[in-house]
Structure 1
Amino acid sequence: MEVTFLGTSSGVPTRSRNVSSVALRLTQRGEIWLFDCGEGTQHQLLRSDLKTSQLKKIFVTHMHGDHTFGLMGLLASCGLGAHAENVEVYGPPGIEPYLKACMKYSYTYFPYGVNINTIEPGVVYEDQDFIVTTELLKHRVTAFGYRITEKDKAGKFNVEKAKKVGIPFGPVYGKLKAGETVTLEDGRTFIGSQFCGATEIGRKFVYCTDTVFCENAIELAQDADVLIHEATFAHQDAEMAFEKMHSTTTMAAQVALAAQVKQLIMTHFSPRYAPGNSLQMSDLLKEAQSIFPQTVLAYDFFRYEIPRRR
């Protein structure tokens, strides 16, 4: 699992930062899941090493334009030459009428499957490998945070050990690998865990933006391997953060600390902290690290590989 930041500015793009979008590449299955899709996201994808043809899911946090204005353009381009197919879009109330209105008035037809799903708190998607859950955050409009949980996998099956004790090759190997207890025809009983390595613990990815500090963000981020959290404002601008329902650096760090996450990556920065201003990005990093040392700042095209737990 690898994260690529395609846009890390808040509200409007800058010379060095596009508006919100984060890609999660599931390398084990050749898929890309996109979180938010601000204006220009498809251009950012073209500048990255990500393949649009691998795009399978788009998760939208809320309907503000800096998180949605690139959605229609990206989906339209996918139909014109990116060879995408069966793209699932998940988002808050409003996502379906918005996209259908865009399609109607731009006379756009998708020659591939696009399924639009309106979400509610709880599980919004599950397959054999992953569970996607959401919780309401605290913003000026309905906004959701997302948690992607990779399911635990059984450890590697020791074929040689099974052969050595005389277990005949066949379907029984699959049962043992799944952790089942198997009784052979000769009456011997074997427990699957005796022939498997340590269980591979699934990784946990959490994405929270836009929101002021809230308990739901902590609940969503519990024990996450990586938490991506907005940090629009510096701590000294907390009054403005509460007014606009966004987070400060210290709010993001407090969520990470309370949830005991492994790594915090902050994003969605206000342009007011650009070079030349009294407060710089380095100051924002220091504020967060004073509370939660395992913090880094995202920038456009920053990549982070989520390590497996040992």
Structure 2
Amino acid sequence: MSIRVTFLGTGGAVPTTERGPSALLVNREGERLLFDCGEGTQRQMMRFGTGFTVSHLFVTHLHGDHVLGIPGLIQTWDFNDREEALAIHAPPGSKRHLRSLVEAGGYRPGFPVNIHEVKPGTVALSGDDYEVRTFETEHRNVRSMGYALLEDDRRGRFDRERAEELGVPVGPAFGRLHEGEAVELDDGTVVRPEQVVGDARPGRKLVYTGDTRPVDATVEAADEPDLLVHDATFASDRADRARGTGHSTGREAAEIAARAGAKHLALTHISSRYAGDASPIEREAQAAFDGEAFVPDDGQKFEVPYPDGGGDTEGGSE
């Protein structure tokens, strides 16, 4: 089962020819979750081939570079005869403003758009074997929060060799044991799952901050996230500017990633002043973080790896 992240918009408040405003598409085995929806997000989805069916949109805060893509996307879905409901999850106090965006210009979509205000520190979405939790962030003049996609633990590895040693016949009995069911053999012997199945293995963890200063809540959002997508608007030579505008530097993002035990760090919301070269942000993050730190380009994809190296994905960007 794969989790593929596509960086649809990696730029700051002012778009450039290379970087659009904030948007992140997560495809988890065909289920698409969109985090933020800056101007032009629908075109980025078309351009980078992510697929267009999104059931949940998670908004970090109401600044325009994170929400102004919503009206166009809503209307395009409507023109394409969408019937499926869309759920928008956003910080407390957002519903009225988001409803105005959804119905911009008096437009009323022909499919349900349900807006949910979610408090930080709670569950925004419970899936079959994962959940999306919220955590409070610190941005300027607005209520803001980040999101952590946390998978449930997976079953342990099945020891086929040990099962055969115990006399379990090859076939359906293997599957029943792996799913937690004891199996009785022809001679009356009972083989229990714990005899042939290893310890549960952790699922994957993805954390997305949106715009924020470095805060403890990001560290606490997930223990050792496999991918942390963190605000890194400026390099450290503009640390005062970062503080004044409620953003982080590349070094500050790296320090948060190190404290959280992250495996990979994606640096996003890059200021337009780095339109030609974002390497100063990337270099200072790499110097402060032992894992992989990178500034993704718009359209870049990243396969989130399993923490134990198992499963279908090995991790890495393309």
**Shared fold per TM-score greater than 0.5:** yes
Q: Give runs of aligned pairs for residues 17-96 of structure 1, distance below 5 A.
A: 17-26=19-28, 28=29, 30-53=30-53, 55-81=54-80, 83=82, 85-96=84-95
Q: How far does the alpha carbon of each residue in 1:15-56 deviate from its partner, in whole angstroms, 9 at most, with x for none?
A: 111000011111x2x111011000110111110111112x12
Contact 1:150 1:203 in 2 (8 A): yes
Unaligned runs of 5+ in 1: none
After superposing the two structures, state which structure 1 stretch, 113-122 or 93-102, moved more.
Answer: 93-102
Match of 1:114 in 2: 113
Match of 2:203 in 1: 202
SS at match of 2:247: coil
1:46 maps to a residue whose letter is M
CA distance in 2, matches of 1:251, 1:221: 18
After superposing the two structures, state which structure 1 stretch, 242-251 or 75-84, moved more.
Answer: 75-84
Identity %: 36
After superposing the two structures, state which structure 1 stretch, 92-101 or 287-296, moved more.
Answer: 92-101
1:291 maps to a residue whose letter is A
SS at match of 1:228: strand
After superposing the two structures, state which structure 1 stretch, 62-71 or 188-197, moved more.
Answer: 188-197
Instruction: Count residues with an aligned counterpart.
Output: 302
Match of 2:262 in 1: 261
Match of 2:125 in 1: 125
After superposing the two structures, state which structure 1 stretch, 97-106 or 124-133, moved more.
Answer: 97-106
1:103 positional shift: 4.5
CA distance in 2, matches of 1:185, 1:57: 50
CA distance in 1, matches of 2:182, 2:123: 31
Match of 2:289 in 1: 292
Match of 1:3 in 2: 5
Using structure 2 for the length normalisation, give the TM-score. Answer: 0.86
Question: CA distance change for structure 1 residues 131 and 104 in 2, over 3 Å: closer, same or farther?
Answer: closer
Indicate the RMSD between aligned Cα atoms, in angstroms: 2.6
1:93 positional shift: 2.4
Contact 1:267 1:299 in 2 (8 A): no
SS at match of 1:36: strand
1:177 maps to a residue whose letter is H
Using structure 1 for the length normalisation, give the TM-score. Answer: 0.88
Contact 2:74 2:102 in 1 (8 A): no
After superposing the two structures, state which structure 1 stretch, 83-92 or 260-269, moved more.
Answer: 83-92
Match of 2:300 in 1: 302
Contact 2:70 2:101 in 1 (8 A): no
Question: CA distance change for structure 1 residues 62 and 177 in 2, over 3 Å: closer, same or farther?
Answer: same
1:86 positional shift: 2.6
Contact 2:90 2:117 in 1 (8 A): yes
CA distance in 1, matches of 2:158, 2:264: 31
